[in-house]
Structure 1
Amino acid sequence: MRRTGKTLRRLCGLTGALTGAVLALAVTTAPARAGSGGAGPAWEGRGAGPAWESRDAGTDARFRGLAAVSRSTAWAAGTKGTVLLTRDGGRSWRNVSPPGADALEFRDVEAFDGRRAVVLAIGEGEASRVFRTDDGGSTWTETFRNTDPKAFYDCLTFFDPRHGIALGDPVDGRFRILATGDGGRSWRVLPARGMPAALPGEAAFAASGQCVVSSGRHDAWIATGGAASSRVLHSADRGRTWTVAGTPVPAGDSARGVFGLAFRDRTHGLAVGGDYRTGQSSERAAAVSGDGGTTWTTASRPPGSYRSGVAWLPHSRTTALAVGPAGSDLTTDGGRTWRAFDTGSYDTVDCAPDGGCWAAGEKGRLARLSGR
């Protein structure tokens, strides 16, 4: 089981054929359409679509951790202990990496603004660590270092500026949850009794920082793969207890399952995944839920291949982006159908409340998304 879990956690960094970019997506908003719940992108409903504008990050690190604060401000975290911060919409990025972290693999970052952020490093035993900054990366404090050799943490999420959880792969047959109540300054392992038993070979993918996500002040969801079936676990009490539901996204192999989740509220969710291996079929690579993750339905027209990251566009009930090593897709009907708009390789995507969306990948390239 350790070999299977280790393969599952490492697989996203082993394929040289996967190429990517760090993307700054500046989405211009327009007045809301009837029933949209807010403003949507200017191109939505016009038969137009997004287009990438390339940028250079000045690094060759691969970024799978991403936090969109606004149109102008975003954080990216990745390989070689690298953390970048932009405050000018991606025109320039500042290296704010924690000192001495060169050997660490950062796979997730959660930011509260342009000064406060929490980053997660993954790995066996003490390689799994959490750092926090309160001054825009000028200084960092290590707030957690895993001392259990059986534990391996994959991703994290916050419900508000104080309460958050980090997800670890199964230890003694159950996923492990690490919790904070002070903004990531201290952490504790939650009791395992509220967690359903993991399936044989089941684990989470540290591919996009989206294997655990939240919406609102109490609800969180976990994405899994590697077992006979892919599953989504839901907690309504900040990770203390969980329920579980199967999804139609194919699993049955250590390279397949649900890689990323996005919930625009506690009811409406999207799941993306498939088979990460180049050239492998990834039919049914996306699913949608309208009941908080209790049931999932395959997209009637899913992305054409594996996708690792997904995000709802702010102030839209129907529009979302999905990204992966073979390109990007757009849905304008709440995840039922997807259409490709780019063939470049990206790993993760995130959107800020003001409509600024960002995505990330390897080789430190930057791009801005503009409406055509």
Structure 2
Amino acid sequence: MLVIALSLLVGAVPANASAGLAWQLTTTNSTARFRGLSAVDGRTAWAGGTAGTILRTVDGGRTWASVGPPGVADLQFRDIEAVDADHAVALAIGEGELSRIYRTSNGGRTWTESFRNKDPKAFYDCFAFFDRRDGLAVSDPVDGKFRVLSTHDGGASWTVLPTSGMPDALPGEAGFAASGQCLVTKGRDAWIASGGGAKARVYHSRDHGLTWTVSDTPLASSPSAGVFAVAFRDSRTGIAIGGDFAAPTAAKDALAGTRDGGRTWRVPPSAPKGYRSGATYLPYLPTGIIAVGPTGSDLSLDNGNHWFQFDAGSFDTVDCGWDGQCWAAGEQGRIAKLRW
């Protein structure tokens, strides 16, 4: 029903673009802040948050079970990737050994720690998978270059990739662990979002993370500003979104689009009215995108050229399942499902 309704709206831009669209909050019984989210479908979703919290629902959000690893209350799970109700991989962020990766194959009944960062200079922000077995995780620059981990067994083991194919980072440049979307994949391609330095940039790999190129975006950059998330429809078409989390209502220089895989970026005619930390393309609707942030959620039905706010609530991240059902998560235990 959601896909049909969105399809009907394509012809209604701009007047009725967000009519009837709303987030339906679920009861999580948690006060954690959830910046990690993985939507499997309309029934199954996983969320990772503060105080070592991982939640899972298998009934469309009617109930949530706390399924995180034991003894990790000091960890912040900022990214989580799941393929079904049983298999998930979760990333905890932080300096040194606070950056860890856990994996479950039984719905969170047990977890295996598959990676613990031993380098005090590394700080892992987010990760993404190409398929069920192959994935990457990215750390802030170490010795002047972003550091990338690789897995080929579904997250059971991780290897640091050589940095010879990674361009030099700018002074102060880093990723933002705000939504689990500072690293995304599509096919063989991967993109890393950055900010903090003199330029807000996007790195692009066409070979599963072995070599990278980097391009400047028009987004503003500062220690609190840059590209917080990237989203791609295919290997060429995508957006970079962000802003300044220290000025969340400012919308200037917070969105750009690309049609060449991230080699060049352009500012669209309109943008969401404020800092946005997460974004996703809508399955089955090639030009549809949803963006979320602490001051609201926005919809675009024309590939990011025009945007319409449909919710004023605070969310940090958004994700859609294979069936087109979309979820959002954020502060104070807020997890919602998109409804008409």
Give the TM bin, normalised by the shorter chain.
Answer: over 0.9
Per-residue Cα deviation, 1:15-53 (whole angstroms, up to 9, x for no partner): xxxxxxxxxxxx62229xxxxxxxx55544352341122
Question: 2:72 aligned with 1:101, yes or no?
Answer: yes
Give the letter aligned to residue 264 of structure 1.
R
- Structure 2: gaps of 5 or more residues: none
Question: 2:316 aligned with 1:347, yes or no?
Answer: yes
- How far, CA to CA, are the matches of 1:365 and 1:212 in structure 2? 23
Per-residue Cα deviation, 1:95-143 (whole angstroms, up to 9, x for no partner): 1011111110100001111100000000110000000000000000000
Out of 237, 260, 282, the position equivalent to 1:268 is 237
- How far, CA to CA, are the matches of 1:166 and 1:341 in structure 2? 33
Question: 2:214 aligned with 1:244, yes or no?
Answer: yes
Per-residue Cα deviation, 1:229-279 (whole angstroms, up to 9, x for no partner): 10000001111100011101111x100100011111111101110111146
- How far, CA to CA, are the matches of 2:199 and 2:296 in structure 1? 25
Alignment TM-score, normalising by the size of structure 2: 0.96
Counterpart residue number, 1:335: 304
Counterpart residue number, 1:182: 153
- How far, CA to CA, are the matches of 2:230 and 2:192 in structure 1? 8
Counterpart residue number, 2:227: 258
Question: 2:221 aligned with 1:211, yes or no?
Answer: no
Give the letter aligned to residue 283 of structure 1.
K
2:282, 2:290 within 8 Å by CA — same for their partners in 1?
Answer: yes
Out of 235, 252, 267, the position equivalent to 1:298 is 267
2:98, 2:116 within 8 Å by CA — same for their partners in 1?
Answer: yes
1:43, 1:50 within 8 Å by CA — same for their partners in 2?
Answer: no
Give the letter aligned to residue 167 of structure 1.
V
Q: Secondary structure at the match of 1:29?
A: helix
Counterpart residue number, 1:45: 11
- How far, CA to CA, are the matches of 1:254 and 1:100 in structure 2? 33
- How far, CA to CA, are the matches of 2:182 and 2:254 in structure 1? 15
2:39, 2:45 within 8 Å by CA — same for their partners in 1?
Answer: yes
- How far, CA to CA, are the matches of 2:339 and 2:321 in structure 1? 16
Counterpart residue number, 2:30: 59
Counterpart residue number, 1:227: 197
Q: Secondary structure at the match of 1:273?
A: strand
Counterpart residue number, 1:30: 4
Question: 2:275 aligned with 1:309, yes or no?
Answer: no
Give the letter aligned to residue 56 of structure 1.
T
> Please, what is the CA RMSD of the aligned residues?
1.3
Counterpart residue number, 1:283: 252
Is 290-299 or 130-139 further displaced after alignment? 290-299
Q: Secondary structure at the match of 1:355?
A: coil
- Structure 1: gaps of 5 or more residues: 1-26, 32-39
2:327, 2:335 within 8 Å by CA — same for their partners in 1?
Answer: no
Give the letter aligned to residue 28 of structure 1.
L
**CA displacement at 1:342 relative to structure 2:** 1.1
Q: Structure 1 residues 226 and 333, CA, compared in 2 at 3 Å: closer, same or farther?
A: same
- How far, CA to CA, are the matches of 1:44 and 1:139 in structure 2? 44
- How far, CA to CA, are the matches of 1:223 and 1:205 in structure 2? 8
Question: 2:173 aligned with 1:202, yes or no?
Answer: yes
**CA displacement at 1:316 relative to structure 2:** 1.1
Q: Secondary structure at the match of 2:102?
A: strand
2:248, 2:275 within 8 Å by CA — same for their partners in 1?
Answer: no
| Structure having greater relative contact order (Cα 8 Å, sep ≥ 6) | 1
Corresponding residue pairs, total: 335
- How far, CA to CA, are the matches of 1:91 and 1:41 in structure 2? 27
- How far, CA to CA, are the matches of 1:207 and 1:42 in structure 2? 32
Per-residue Cα deviation, 1:150-190 (whole angstroms, up to 9, x for no partner): 11100000000110000000000000000101100000000
Moved segments of 4+, more than 4 Å: 40-44
Alignment TM-score, normalising by the size of structure 1: 0.88
Give the letter aligned to residue 326 of structure 2.
C
1:163, 1:183 within 8 Å by CA — same for their partners in 2?
Answer: yes
Give the letter aligned to residue 258 of structure 1.
V
Counterpart residue number, 1:5: none
